[in-house]
Chains A and B, each alone.
Chain A
Amino acid sequence: MTLASSSDLLAHPAFGLLFFGLAAAVLRGRFAAVAMIIGPVFGFWLVSKLELGSSFTCSLFGFEMVFAKVDQQAILFGYLFHLAALIVGIYSFHLRDPWQISMGMFYAACAVGVAFAGDLLSLFLWWEGLALTSVFQIWAKKTQRAEQAGFRYLFFHVLSGLLLLAGIILRYHEVGGEDAFAMVSMTMAFEDGDLYAQLILFAIGIKCAFPFFHVWLTDGYPEATPTGAVFLSAFTSKAAICIMARLFVGTDFLITVGAVMAMFPIFYAVIENDLRRVLGYSMINQIGFMVVGIGIGTPLAVDGALAHAFNDVLFKGLLFMAMGAVLYRTGEIRGSELGGLYRTMPWTTGLCIIGAASISAFPLFSGFVSKSIIMVEAARGNHYIVWLCLLFASAGVFHHAGIKIPFFAFFAHDSGRRPKEAPLNMLIAMGIAAFMCLFIGCNPQWLYAMLPGGAAGYHPYDATHVITQTEILLFSALAFTLLNLWKLYPPELKSVNLDVDWLYRKGGQAFCTFMALFWNALNEMAHALFVKTIAHRVGTFTAHSSTLVLRLFANPLRALGLLSHETDDEAKDALGKQAALGIHPVGLTALFGILFLLGLLALSW
């Protein structure tokens, strides 16, 4: 392995996070926590030094690999992931678990690597890194439940990596040459039914939580540590969205998938009790909007999807941080066991409400300036059913993430819990995220300027849009208020809801039970037949066959009075003993010998 230029690789945008992640693994205590702050800041500086159009290559196993290629989209995600890493770093400042800290930073570094990946080979390496480093945020909880959830989570991500690799290899065989590993649009190939494009989209789809492959998210994230869930919410799915926006822009199939993703999770979110799982479902709902934007494929729609990914990291992170703070202080995250926390956690409550307003896309909050682009483009492209679905999802997301999360955690009935306010480092991290939500909501041009297409002349704040959006949100809130007052709203119950994971969690159990019953029964039958019956009989036969043969010849002799045994039984006993011991009287042996030779003589005639 030779590196094209080692100094080049030290300037790779992920280097800052990798190096300080390594430092955090070696250092202990407060030093590791400080590394978690310096790493993202240093990485942020590295990203700001990058020149558009430059690239980092190195040759590995005879392949020229483009480890990073700098374009506007990569820089956008580079800034985003470093900002997210910084916020989570501050949020986790109290952590003293070197595994969680260093793996968290490697995880962020892999996300940066994915965003900058210049070809499919380096993408695959970062992609696998993303899977392997992220699972530690779940395992770090160190309960059996978390361990099992971590393995289920890992299963999906390893599957995604393998599919990506299979797709890349197929593409290499099909396309070949210089272009084989290039990050170019695969939309045509996908729509022509090329297997490699389908596999690669499937691989990205798993990480984007496509329907039926979304359970790793809603199963894994709620089992993570309070800080781990914030880590997880920021990187995996957004990195996948970044790659989808490079490879599959304008794929019609994505519009339908995105609309389904925006719709179905909100039903689950309304009846879910675990508030972090509610956020998990709401995350799929938000990713659905981005997938629709990429599917529509106009430059403005893709800009909308990317802008929404940027905002989603901030407001979803903020909500996960608020719920993490509640979990950290109370040890409880079930809506049925919470309520009334605003009395002692007013700051967390306020910051959570800012996050809730942002995800609901209230005017002046960040969700408003990005979600609206996707809605407008869906309408302009005349996807009216999809547009109705997205509008439904907009109302729904306000319902479950905007109202339900703050309401059931901080207000609702008084749970009697009086936890302390969240620690200062958590409040600072939430404060930064909340500030960013408001800042982007009030200065959308700041975000638009970073987009690849600059959101070409889009203005979110026109009167029609502000009025209609406020109207739909207020009336969604009205429905919540009235249904709650009329006692029609489903109460938070101690329960779990079945999802697709039932198929493999219960199905897997049933499979194991069936296998155990079937194979064990087969094993016992085989044992009874071969070991106990046939082998036993063969053994008995071989043990006693010589006696039988002897008796066959001895009985006529005894009848003639040539043998000394009186009775048949006596002869049997004596012959049996002689056969078992291998001893026979010389005379008898000689007699049989003569008989045998005579027999041969007779035959030769």
Chain B
Amino acid sequence: MNKTTDKTNGDPATEDTKRWLDDPDNVRKLIRWFYWSCGLIILIDLIFSLGWHKHAAFVDGAPLDAIEVWPGFYGLYGFVACSVLVFLAKALRSFQGKPFLMRDEDYWDKP
């Protein structure tokens, strides 16, 4: 829920009033809190999986039943999914230096 943690690259303000986020130190602080919260949720997941019964989404015997209840499965899946998403999307833009889907802004206006 700590969405502000993703506000990296806080450039120095061009105005006189400096915002809290304009200080790179604060941004670094935010990111550090964010790393801690990631660690915390994994810890909670682990404790919950060991101490209580984490009920599976799937019925017994389904192919994913055993994997889905692993502590950290969702975290790992989210991280891998987003990385794959980004790299595939980059490849869609241009593959091996050749533009694939990306075109100039005036592409449609050109005859």
Contact = CB atoms under 8 A, between A and B. Distances in A.
A201 B42 CA distance: 44
B55 interface: yes
A590 B1 CA distance: 117
A357 B86 contact: no
A357 B102 contact: no
Nearest to B92: A267
A413 B103 contact: no
A342 B13 CA distance: 11
B38 A497 contact: no
B7 interface: yes
Interface in B1-17: 1, 3, 5-15
A478 B92 CA distance: 23
Given A392-B81, A471-B45, A494 B105 contact: yes
A399 B6 CA distance: 11
Interface string A474-488: 111111110111001
Given A418-B15, A471-B75, A353 B3 contact: yes
B93 to A, nearest CB: 5
Interface stretch (A188-196, A250-258, A461-469): A461-469
Interface stretch (A316-324, A375-383, A533-541): A375-383
B11 A391 contact: no
A468 B45 contact: yes
The DSSP consensus for interface residues of chain A is helix
A313 interface: no
A411 interface: yes
Contacts of A342: 19, 21
A28 interface: no
Interface string A388-399: 100110011001
A250 to B, nearest CB: 19
Interface in A398-413: 399, 402-403, 406-407, 411-413
A495 interface: yes
Interface string A308-350: 0000000000000000000000000000000010110000000
Contacts of A340: 11
B103 A498 contact: yes
Interface residues of A, number: 71
A414 B41 contact: no
Contact of A481 (B6, B48, B63, B85): B6
Nearest to A513: B111
A497 B102 contact: yes
Contacts of A498: 101-103
A479 B83 contact: yes
B50 interface: no
A469 B78 CA distance: 10
Contacts of A490: 86, 89-90, 93
A474 B82 CA distance: 11
Nearest to A473: B78
Of A412, A480, A509, most buried by chain B (CB within 10 Å of CB) is A480
Contacts of B41: 467, 470-471, 474
Contacts of B109: 145
A258 B102 CA distance: 26
Contacts of B85: 266-267, 270, 392, 395-396, 399
Contacts of A485: 8, 31
B68 to A, nearest CB: 8
B52 A463 contact: yes
Contacts of A414: 11-14
A465 to B, nearest CB: 9
A382 B59 contact: yes
Contact of B19 (A343, A464, A473, A496): A343
Contacts of A497: 92-93, 101-103
Contacts of A478: 34-35, 38, 79
A428 to B, nearest CB: 23
Contacts of A116: none
B62 A382 contact: yes
A489 interface: yes
A391 B79 CA distance: 12
9 contacts: A357-B3, A362-B1, A379-B62, A380-B59, A384-B63, A464-B54, A474-B78, A484-B9, A496-B108
Given A380-B57, A380-B59, A468-B74, 5 more contacts: A267-B88, A414-B13, A464-B48, A469-B74, A498-B101
